[in-house]
Structure 1
Amino acid sequence: MKNWLLHMRYCSAISVKQLGRLWREFTADQLRRMSPEEIATNLEMSEEQRDRFKNDFSRFHLANTLLELERYQIDLISIEDTCYPSLLRELYDPPLLLFTKGDVGLLAWEKLAVVGTRKMTEYGKRIINQLVAPLCKESLAIVSGLAMGIDAEAHREAMCVGGKTIAVIGSGFLQFYPIENKQLFEKIMKEGLVLSEYAPHVTARKWHFPERNRIISGLSLGTLIVQAEKRSGSLITADAALNQNREVFTVPGSVFQRSSAGTNKLIQEGAKLVTEASDIMEELRQ
Structure 2
Amino acid sequence: MKNWLLHMKYCSSISVKQLGKLWREFPVGQLRKMSAEEIATSLEMSEEQRERFKNEFSRFHLANVLLELERYQITLVSIEDACYPVLLRELYDPPLLLFAKGNIELLAWEKLAVVGTRKMTDYGKQIIHYLVAPLCKESLTVVSGLAVGIDAEAHRETIRVGGKTIAVIGSGFLQFYPLENKPLFEMIMKDGLVLSEYAPHVTARKWHFPERNRIISGLSLGTLIVQAEKRSGSLITADAALNQNREVFAVPGSAFQLSSAGTNKLIQEGAKLVMEASDIMEELRQ
Q: Which category describes the TM-score, using the shorter chain as reference length?
A: over 0.9
The DSSP-based 3-state class of the residue aligned with 1:123 is helix
Give 1:70-85 correspondences, 5 Å limit.
70-85=70-85
CA distance in 1, matches of 2:261, 2:152: 21
> What's 2:105 paired with?
105
> What's 2:37 paired with?
37
The DSSP-based 3-state class of the residue aligned with 2:77 is strand
Gaps of 5+ in 2: none
> What's 1:260 paired with?
260
> What's 2:283 paired with?
283
The DSSP-based 3-state class of the residue aligned with 1:254 is coil
The DSSP-based 3-state class of the residue aligned with 2:142 is strand
- What code does the residue aligned with 1:144 have? S
- What code does the residue aligned with 2:223 have? T
The DSSP-based 3-state class of the residue aligned with 1:92 is coil
- What code does the residue aligned with 2:144 have? S
CA distance in 2, matches of 1:27, 1:187: 40
TM normalised by structure 1 equals: 1.00
> What's 1:49 paired with?
49
CA distance in 1, matches of 2:256, 2:152: 25
> What's 2:213 paired with?
213
CA distance in 1, matches of 2:43, 2:259: 40
> What's 1:159 paired with?
159
> What's 1:193 paired with?
193
- What code does the residue aligned with 2:221 have? L
> What's 1:225 paired with?
225
- What code does the residue aligned with 1:12 have? S
- What code does the residue aligned with 2:55 have? N
CA distance in 2, matches of 1:124, 1:28: 46
- What code does the residue aligned with 1:23 have? W
> What's 2:244 paired with?
244
- What code does the residue aligned with 2:127 have? I
CA distance in 1, matches of 2:207, 2:88: 20
Instruction: Give aligned-pair identity as a percent.
Output: 87
What is the aligned residue count?
Answer: 286
Give 1:169-184 correspondences, 5 Å limit.
169-184=169-184
CA distance in 1, matches of 2:193, 2:109: 12
Gaps of 5+ in 1: none
> What's 1:269 paired with?
269
> What's 1:87 paired with?
87
The DSSP-based 3-state class of the residue aligned with 2:267 is helix
- What code does the residue aligned with 2:188 have? I
> What's 1:27 paired with?
27
> What's 2:67 paired with?
67
Query: Alpha-carbon deviation of 1:228?
Result: 0.1
> What's 1:121 paired with?
121
Query: Alpha-carbon deviation of 1:232?
Result: 1.1
- What code does the residue aligned with 2:249 have? F
CA distance in 1, matches of 2:35, 2:54: 10
CA distance in 2, matches of 1:163, 1:281: 16
CA distance in 2, matches of 1:68, 1:78: 18
The DSSP-based 3-state class of the residue aligned with 2:249 is strand
Superposed CA offset, 1:82-109 (max 9, x none): 0000000000000000000000000000
- What code does the residue aligned with 1:51 have? E
- What code does the residue aligned with 2:22 have? L
Alpha carbon RMSD of aligned pairs, Å?
A: 0.3
Query: Alpha-carbon deviation of 1:163?
Result: 0.2
Query: Alpha-carbon deviation of 1:8?
Result: 0.1
